Structure 1
């Protein structure tokens, strides 16, 4: 089998015992420690086709790796075949047409840098070492989303290798059902080997502001921060974090810095009406550096677990629940505002769900010692569960180990039915099931 696979692949095939095997099977979440039988490091689309056909011919589970940031580690199938797209990481920019062609193994930092070199950008997450593929197929929230829509909203076309080993181009005019499903339906429908993105003029200037409070004294300020978000310009994305006993209320501004200064001043004045912060930090960035700002915080080699929610409103009771931080080993919290261009796209236009979201909530823990696994995960589950009654869904990319119940939270019944129909057409045998899985409909 190994000889036959090597003969089909122009890239590299790794097996246990080979140099680079262990580093190649390691992903962002250090809790993931599975051993694929083969790791196929694809150098071109033909390698992906060959790998898919080989796996299906030999009954091997398939995982797809790009950035490897998925919290569950679906990219790493035990005793299966990992399709490693990282060698296919090129980004090419057509400045005149305002288009980017991005190979399936590219990271967000490569897209940001290439587009900004000609004064353009598209929505691309918040961490530069995230994979373009996983982010975009699930939706793709980022600091430009309130201005330009989600990452998936900016995809003009996809090149995809299906379960049958066929290479298709999906767009509004070609395989429109697949094009709809790929914009938010996750990696359920094949291996995307190229994304074509629409780009937008962006000056490359950014501003961040944080006003820090003790958790026990943040209630009124957080309510005021929420209210100020209602009238925020699209260049501003209101965000908050809670780490240990500190709440940071603030915003990220991408656009004209003079207008950003005015928005930060308005936020500072508004918060002062509630209570003055203990400290504040206002920083200026290039857009590319903004996109790298959280790279160290979200570094590889940590053990990780998280839980997520969508809130259609951040009511007083929700704020009180978020600030109730009794207990040990509690996860850090992030809140990020939606709205703007995200909400303006009709819900039925894409598989992505949650366009009526006001704020996305994520409770995330990271640690090094495996002996802490159950304690850390249990604390995150308990804390996030106190917010269950306020939630109206979840971002599919924020799902962890919820399984079928999580997928049902991420999509409406109508969208799940439609996604299952598309799945039946393009992957009737559920070859691509190492994901937040959508099963094929019965027909």
Structure 2
């Protein structure tokens, strides 16, 4: 059966020729598993690809890239499929799905792991924690490691061990011409620099090598819930504490609506609250003194911070972030002045749905000690990152929820330099991408793009356009 695309018709023989070259499989429109295969985590993006290539290994990725280029197809690259902006799928193009590629080799002596690109953070934590090791990972365990890493990677180990991308030591990449390169400090060093914060602009990453650190298996971590009428004193008190917190402790404030959790009183369910979340990465016993001031910021509704397995903290929020909802995230790096915190607290009172939230992430520590020029993620000075989340169970009024998130971001961003976290730009709008990088960094990224993807084959991302030959 022929497949219609925006560029023409793909004949059955053409697709069969591709499939014969694969160890994986091709999913076409009309196949029994097509609807399942095309679905992504963020239901705000309901696209119908012409083909989904489920890659079993690097060779399959090479064949898929060559096919996409020869047929002039729009390319979406999928790992965990959590892309908030919807870059994990496309209309009428080809999805190169690396999610079946889930191998991991841990070297506990060198403290390294070689991880295939289809792993989620839950997968990778399972492998590394067997040796008492970890690398900064996502706050939701179903998030894919690849896109998260390429955009930076903010997680509970950020202040002790830096961003995920700061711990990337090498990557295997299939570039736009179908060739495979290894990028590290010695081979393709400019590409390696760009991969650490420059997003998926330069090829399909098929494996990543990370530096690991002793973490767990037990850590001191969890959540402290405060009522809305204490939110201001909690947020301002927390801001003061962040100035002297040890690097082992990474915290955030989540201004949200209380979910119906069993340890929260029923009368609190559905009301706006402030949640302090954190993890102490060192000895849990030593962490008690570090987290004690957090317990005294107000009178908690509930305190569920204590010793727990690292993997438990990594999955703690998963039940609140299941697939199938409509999501829009945006962000701003800020300095937490009184005016900035006033804006954050004010916007919390206008959240359009119970699942919509405003987060304040503590930065600093190891994150701030990485020289700005050493990676494409160069926003090392701000002390906080504000993420704005619009989330709804379905499409009802979702456009207005997105407008709320964008307006909230604009108001809060006035208290910083206007810069954004590239993983949470909300969409691929060019001005949002530019707001993620200083001019000199963006110019350097363009030069790398010119080298490895001069025709912009990989443009479904927070796109860095090449200087010539660009397609949009």
TM-score bracket for the superposition, by shorter chain length: over 0.9
Other structure's SS at 2:435 match: helix
Between the aligned partners of 1:377 and 1:390, the Cα distance in structure 2 is 21
Q: Does the aligned pair in 2 maintain the 1:417–1:441 contact within 8 Å?
A: no
Q: Does the aligned pair in 2 maintain the 1:63–1:77 contact within 8 Å?
A: yes
Q: Does 1:336 align with 2:349?
A: no
Give 1:176 shift.
0.4
Between the aligned partners of 2:385 and 2:341, the Cα distance in structure 1 is 13
Q: Does 1:148 align with 2:161?
A: yes
Other structure's SS at 1:261 match: helix
Give 1:413 shift.
0.4
CA RMSD of aligned residues (A): 1.6
Where in structure 2 are the equivalents of 1:298-317 lying within 5 Å? Answer: 298-311=321-334, 313-317=335-339
Between the aligned partners of 1:211 and 1:103, the Cα distance in structure 2 is 36
Q: Does the aligned pair in 1 maintain the 2:330–2:409 contact within 8 Å?
A: yes
Q: Among residues 53, 63, 73, which one is paired with 1:50 in the alignment? A: 63
Between the aligned partners of 2:317 and 2:249, the Cα distance in structure 1 is 18
Q: Among residues 456, 462, 469, which one is paired with 1:430 in the alignment? A: 456
Give 1:326 shift.
4.3
Between the aligned partners of 1:328 and 1:168, the Cα distance in structure 2 is 45
Between the aligned partners of 1:250 and 1:371, the Cα distance in structure 2 is 30
Where in structure 2 are the equivalents of 1:210-229 lying within 5 Å? Answer: 210-229=223-242
Between the aligned partners of 2:57 and 2:225, the Cα distance in structure 1 is 48
Moved more, 365-374 or 78-87: 365-374
Q: Deviations over 1:312-332 (max 9, x none)?
A: x21111111111144461631
Equivalent in the alignment of 1:116: 129
Give 1:442 shift.
4.0
Where in structure 2 are the equivalents of 1:12-411 lying within 5 Å? Answer: 12-244=25-257, 245-269=272-296, 271=297, 275-311=298-334, 313-324=335-346, 325-327=348-350, 329=352, 331-392=356-417, 393-401=419-427, 403-411=429-437
Between the aligned partners of 2:204 and 2:451, the Cα distance in structure 1 is 15
Q: Deviations over 1:103-159 (max 9, x none)?
A: 011111111111110111111121111101000011111111211111111111110
Other structure's SS at 2:101 match: coil
Between the aligned partners of 2:138 and 2:249, the Cα distance in structure 1 is 15
Equivalent in the alignment of 2:260: none
Give 1:353 shift.
2.5
Normalized against structure 1, the TM-score is what?
A: 0.95
Moved more, 393-402 or 161-170: 393-402
Q: Deviations over 1:268-292 (max 9, x none)?
A: 34x2xxx444443323310011111
Between the aligned partners of 2:111 and 2:223, the Cα distance in structure 1 is 33
Q: Does the aligned pair in 2 maintain the 1:180–1:349 contact within 8 Å?
A: yes
Q: Does the aligned pair in 2 maintain the 1:239–1:252 contact within 8 Å?
A: no
Give 1:100 shift.
0.3
Normalized against structure 2, the TM-score is what?
A: 0.90
Give 1:217 shift.
3.4
Q: Deviations over 1:422-442 (max 9, x none)?
A: 000000000000000001124
Give 1:209 shift.
4.8
Moved more, 322-331 or 149-158: 322-331
Q: Does the aligned pair in 2 maintain the 1:208–1:283 contact within 8 Å?
A: yes
Q: Deviations over 1:62-104 (max 9, x none)?
A: 1100000111111212110100001111111111121100001
How has the CA–CA distance of structure 1 residues 44 and 279 changed in structure 2, closer, same or farther, with 3 Å as cutoff? Answer: closer
Moved more, 4-13 or 408-417: 4-13
Q: Does the aligned pair in 1 maintain the 2:66–2:178 contact within 8 Å?
A: yes
Give 1:169 shift.
0.5
Q: Does the aligned pair in 1 maintain the 2:446–2:467 contact within 8 Å?
A: yes
Between the aligned partners of 1:22 and 1:160, the Cα distance in structure 2 is 29
How has the CA–CA distance of structure 1 residues 17 and 136 changed in structure 2, closer, same or farther, with 3 Å as cutoff? Answer: same
How has the CA–CA distance of structure 1 residues 402 and 87 changed in structure 2, closer, same or farther, with 3 Å as cutoff? Answer: closer
